[in-house]
Structure 1
Amino acid sequence: MRGQGVAVATAAHLLDRAGFAFAREPGLRRPVPVIMLSDPALALLRDVFGKPALFADRPRIEHRVVKWGSAEAVAMPHGAVVVSEDDLAAALDPTGGCDPGQVQPRFTIEAMAPFSCGKTLRFGERISATARVTLKANAPARTCWIEAVDAGWLFLIPDGFGQAWLLAVGGNPQSLAHDAPLIGPLIDALEHTGGQFDTSPRMLAQLAGDNWLACGTAAIAFDPICGDGTAQAAREGILAAAVVGALASGEDPALLSTHYHSLLLASLRRHLQLSLPFYANGGAGRWWHEQYAAAKAGYEQTTALLARLPEPRFALHGFDLVRREQAA
């Protein structure tokens, strides 16, 4: 098992619980500064890891305010907790695993480069950056804000202690915040940003083979504009562990490889489909037109790729993969 993150931690936990021996090569990972875990994602992690009180003491987000395109700002209920990626990794750190010298690997779960498949399909180029923000005294502590501006969009996530993290997609945080009538006035001070990173949706051209599969954000990544990346990563880990279990029970490796790849391809296609209205309505400038065109091309490409694959032959029954005819 190579790499780290939620997908690997989930797979390792389930494999350890099922009695599989495995070795871990954690590698290096540049953590994101903050994660907003939605209540459904948190419930999934609590269920998988058997931790019903996971992050019960962390700052909560209870409202979301969105200003998108020409529409007025809209406030709506929201349920989430705010954690750092380091805290998330520590909470989910699996206790299982063996010394690499004690295991002769028959199957590899890959969550970091180099991958068995070297080709990546990329849908757009969305350069992003984060900045640490001090909020104005009157900014609600349990509200997050999302705003589209001419050259990109912003996501402001409070930490519950008077500060927040600002994600800027499409430009640097200072410039985008300057043009943001909703988010800009909430900021009292904005620190210099760190390095830039890519938030464009992408995936390896092949996500599984006879003796390997790939998971995690290095293998398949979603745009933060919609969906829940943490829940997606947990589901990848569940599916990865289930594939290993099905292999051990004698299922066909080629069928399992196709099933795993097609399910993750379908999840990215669905994500691209959901993101299309956001990029269609976020703004009228060149950047928005380019990102909409990239998302549309990605949706069409993943649709065509998925059409060439057979219908899924397996279904999850709890944390196990079974033939669909058995699950019916």
Structure 2
Amino acid sequence: MTLVEIAGSGLAELTCARLLADRGHRVRLAPPRPPGQPAGAARAGAGPRPLLLTGPTLDLVGRLWGDGLLDGGWPLTHRHARWGAGPSPGRFPQPGRAVDGAVLAVRMRERLGTGDLSGEPPAWTVTATPGEPAGERAAHRQTGRRRLLAGTAPVRRPRDQDTARLDCTGLGWLHLTPLGREACLVQAMVPGPAGDPAGLLARLLAESALGTRLRRPPRTAVALAAAPRVHLAPALPPVAGRGGLLVVGAGALRQDPISGTGTAQALRTAILAAAVIDAAAAGTSARALCAHYADRLRAAFHDHLGTCMRLYPAAFGSPAWRDEIDAMRHALRGGAAGTLPGRPDRAVPEPAQEPPP
């Protein structure tokens, strides 16, 4: 069967490896990362990668990987959300689990075993971080400059750790995810680069009622690029002397975390990439399959922008946020000529929407 190189250790890459191995293909895994350096460490800083998984994402992880992968995560039972300046809708049931993405990746890799150890060239390479000599801007279509701020802080009420909470200020939205052991993940979305992420998080917490739920703001924080982005050439078919390439995960499609389904969408790119390789091995045109893969990602990208456009204009009206909203509106209308073709038929809708983020 087909030999596929998995050139990374992210959740989407390893899920693709699992699906391909289950279908009888040979997979060659990237070397393990050094201890304490999870996937994305070069961009986000070494250490844990807290994730909040809810609803469709939990179901999808269970179907793909079976039981036990999420053991040790912190269970959540409810969510409380106030979007924009409106009144709070109150606390409502929403089961979820706060997990460490780095731990999940280690467990996935352990289940995959050693993989193929031959030295022959692969027919395909699957990666979430492709090399882009021409520059990221040329390879992607990005809609805005907003940043996700993230840090951890101690909670004030140790018993109140079963509810994820969302609030808005004039500057952006703010989200608290209990992690257990009296710790909380603090995230905020702001409409542009942040020179002092921890200071900006402290300001947002001071302007929100959520600040009273923490003993103090995070002492350190990171600012991550978070505007929706789609790769313009996420799939290249094999040609003479070169194997094919499939970009998965956030490298293929990055979603604003307001949707709450980014991890599920990353795993769906892995499912689709595995289907491309499997169909190509069965004789379907690799070129046609790669074109279909790109079309499906663009459809999901447009659907996600539509979700953002239903939410952000209702909550934020500052000039900086209007620039972000205009960038998304421009992309929905087709973007620059020849950069993003007209929206194809809705082939892969987003997972069922959950309350933001």
TM-score class, shorter? 0.7 to 0.9
Contact 2:205 2:217 in 1 (8 A): no
1:4 aligned residue (1, 4, 9): 9
Q: How far apart, in 2, do the equivalents of 1:22 and 1:201 lie? A: 30
User: Which residue number corresponds to residue 204 of structure 2?
Assistant: 176
Which of residues 299, 303, 309 is equivalent to 1:266?
Answer: 299
SS at match of 1:71: coil
**Structure 1 residues 53 and 24 mapped into 2: Cα distance closer, same or farther (>3 Å)?**
closer
Residue 167 of structure 1: SS of its match in structure 2? strand
Mean Cα deviation higher: 66-75 or 301-310: 301-310
Give yes or no for the alignment of 1:225 onto 2:258: yes
Q: Does 2:173 correspond to 1:153?
A: yes
Structure 1, 281-290 or 230-239: larger mean CA deviation: 281-290
Please, what is the CA RMSD of the aligned residues? 2.5
Partner SS for 1:192: coil
Shift of 1:235: 0.9
- Give the CA deviation at 1:306: 5.0
Secondary structure at the aligned position of 1:269 is classed as: helix
Residues 117/249 of structure 1: CA separation in 2 closer, same or farther (3 Å cut): farther
Which of 222, 235, 241 does residue 208 from structure 1 map onto? 235
Q: Hey, what does 2:80 align to over in structure 1? A: 65
* Paired residues of 1:122 and 1:203 also in contact (CA < 8 A): yes
Counterpart CA distance in 2 for 1:228 and 1:117 is 30
List aligned pairs for 1:230-241, cutoff 5 A: 230-241=263-274
Equivalent residue for 2:351? Answer: none
* 1:189 equivalenced with 2:216 (yes/no): yes
Greater Cα shift, 156-165 or 129-138: 129-138
Following the alignment from structure 1 to structure 2, what is the Cα–Cα distance between the partners of residues 223 and 213?
Answer: 22
Question: In the alignment, which residue of structure 2 is the partner of 1:320?
Answer: none
Q: How many Å apart are 1:138 and its aligned residue? A: 6.6
Shift of 1:302: 6.8
Is the 1:4–1:29 contact (alpha carbons within 8 Å) kept by the matching residues of 2?
no
Q: What SS is found at the alignment partner of 2:334?
A: helix
Q: Which residue of 2 aligns with 1:76?
A: 92
Q: Deviations over 1:49-105 (max 9, x none)?
A: 2x2344255321211111111101122221210101112212222325223x52311
1:95 aligns with: 113
> Normalized against structure 1, the TM-score is what?
0.86
Residues in 2 aligned to 1:309 and 1:137: alpha-carbon distance in whole angstroms: 49
Return 188-197 or 216-225, whichever deviates more.
188-197
1:307 to 342, 345, 352: 342
In structure 2, relative to structure 1, the CA distance for the partners of 1:264 and 1:226 (3 Å cut) is: same
Give the secondary structure class of the aligned counterpart of 1:183.
Answer: helix
Aligned residue pairs total 310
Q: Secondary structure at the match of 2:257?
A: coil
Q: Paired residue for 1:122, among 142, 145, 154?
A: 142
Is the Cα–Cα contact under 8 Å of residues 85 and 168 in structure 2 kept in the other structure?
no
**TM-aligned CA deviation for residue 199 of structure 1:** 0.8
Closer, same or farther: CA 189–96 of 1 in aligned 2, 3 Å:
same
Q: Which runs of 5+ in 2 are unaligned?
A: 1-5, 34-38, 195-199, 238-243, 349-357
- Aligned match for 2:126, one of 109, 122, 130: 109
Bigger mean CA offset, 78-87 vs 297-306: 297-306
Give 1:113 shift.
3.0
Change in CA separation of 1:308 and 1:152 when aligned onto 2, cut-off 3 Å: closer
Moved more, 277-286 or 130-139: 130-139
What's the TM-score, normalizing by structure 2?
0.80
Amino acid across the alignment from 2:70: F
Alpha-carbon distance in structure 2 between the residues aligned to 1:128 and 1:310: 31
Name 1:39's counterpart in structure 2. Answer: 55
